[in-house]
């Protein structure tokens, strides 16, 4: 016997603007205006959704993004939030790493 809980979300036209910003032909992108869009709250949501502790630091799983977009996101975190970041290459995965000396900021 197995038990499970599932849910579905509604597709509402009001969210299409975000799809258009973050997807190009169904491929995930980071828009050019990410610096203006990203707030501390958004960073918290990103960490809660795609973040995990890695040693003394933090990995953010950005596997669905190309190297170009991972770089753009990393430079945005560095410039906007003054976070020391790097990209950890592990085979085909490339998580974004935030060093532990920045975690008190987050």
Q: What is the pLDDT of residue 36?
A: 96
Q: What is the pLDDT of residue 74?
A: 95
CA gap 106, 13 in Å, rounded: 33
Mean pLDDT, the chain cut into blocks of 10 residues (106 residues total)? 86 90 92 96 93 89 90 95 88 84 65
Kindly list the structural domains of the chain, giving each domain's residue range(s) and its CATH number in brackets, ordered by start: 13-102 (3.10.28.10)
Q: Please state the pTM of the whole predicted model.
A: 0.80
Q: What is the pLDDT of residue 104?
A: 63
């Amino acid at each position: 016997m197995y038990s499970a809980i599932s849910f579905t979300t509604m597709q509402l036209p009001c969210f299409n603007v975000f799809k258009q910003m973050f997807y190009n032909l169904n491929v995930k992108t980071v828009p050019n205006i990410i610096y203006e869009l990203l707030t501390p709250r958004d960073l918290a949501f990103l960490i809660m959704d795609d973040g995990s502790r890695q040693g003394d630091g933090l990995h953010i799983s950005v596997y669905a993004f190309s190297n170009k977009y991972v770089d753009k996101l990393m430079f945005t975190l560095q410039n906007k939030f003054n976070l020391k970041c790097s990209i950890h290459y592990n085979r085909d995965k490339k998580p974004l790493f935030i060093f532990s000396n920045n975690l008190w900021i987050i």
